[in-house]
Amino acid sequence: MKKLLIVSSLVFAGALTGCSSLNTSAPSLPLSGSVATDVKADIEVGEKITGQSSATKVLIFTIGAETEYADGIAYSAGGRGGSLLPFAAPNPVESVKSAAAYNAIQASGADVIVAPRYIVKQNDYVVFGTIDVTVEGYKGTIKSIK
């Protein structure tokens, strides 16, 4: 009986502990790449803009996530949440990043975010967790496309 009490206490204590992580994206080197296209866009870069979004995970479900996202915000291999397996569940962090980008664009009236930088704070407590994302960048307004 005493061993059962000790084991159940350890399992309960383990369920209450968790992990916390913080990820900040920033280019470590100047970007140097070339893209060949016949389309030319004239983008006016404006003031600094920010957007924020958050969600709560309970087991494998995401609760409190936003319903509006910016399209084209994909950071994972193959667009499947960081997994190369075709049946893998999507990563909820990616959708929170997309929602933060959407919020920044909507609040500022921008067409694009120039040089976006994402700050991801994730707390994981086995059964539940929180995801908070803040995006910072510059307001980009498309003046013309040729």
Provide block-wise average pLDDT over 10 residues at a time, the chain (146 residues). 79 70 66 72 91 88 76 53 54 86 92 91 88 93 88
Domain membership of residue 79 (yes or no) is yes
Q: What is the residue range of 77's domain?
A: 18-27+36-145
Domain membership of residue 102 (yes or no) is yes
- What integer pLDDT is reported at residue 93 of this predicted model? 84
- What integer pLDDT is reported at residue 54 of this predicted model? 92
Domain membership of residue 100 (yes or no) is yes
- What integer pLDDT is reported at residue 79 of this predicted model? 44
If DSSP codes are grouped into helix, strand and coil, which group holds residue 125? strand
Domain membership of residue 62 (yes or no) is yes
- What integer pLDDT is reported at residue 78 of this predicted model? 43
Q: Where are the alpha helices (DSSP H) in 17-144?
A: 92-108
Domain membership of residue 105 (yes or no) is yes
Its pTM stands at: 0.65
Domain membership of residue 13 (yes or no) is no
To the nearest 10°, the Cα dihedral for 80, 83, 85, 88?
A: -60
Instruction: Compute the distance between CA of residue 134 and CA of residue 103 in angstroms, rounded to an integer.
Output: 10
- What integer pLDDT is reported at residue 22 of this predicted model? 73
- What integer pLDDT is reported at residue 40 of this predicted model? 83
Helices (H) and strands (E) in the chain, counts: 2, 5
Contacts of 59-67 with C-beta under 8 Å, sequence gap 24+, read 59/127, 59/128, 60/89, 62/92, 62/95, 65/92, 65/95, 65/96, 65/99, 66/96, 66/99, 66/102, 66/103
| Domain count within the chain | 1
Spatial contact of 104 and 135, defined as CB atoms under 8 Å apart: yes
Domain membership of residue 11 (yes or no) is no
- What integer pLDDT is reported at residue 29 of this predicted model? 57
Domain membership of residue 73 (yes or no) is yes
Instruction: List Cβ neighbours of 101 (8 Å cut-off, separation of 6 or more).
Output: 51, 69, 70, 73, 113, 116, 135
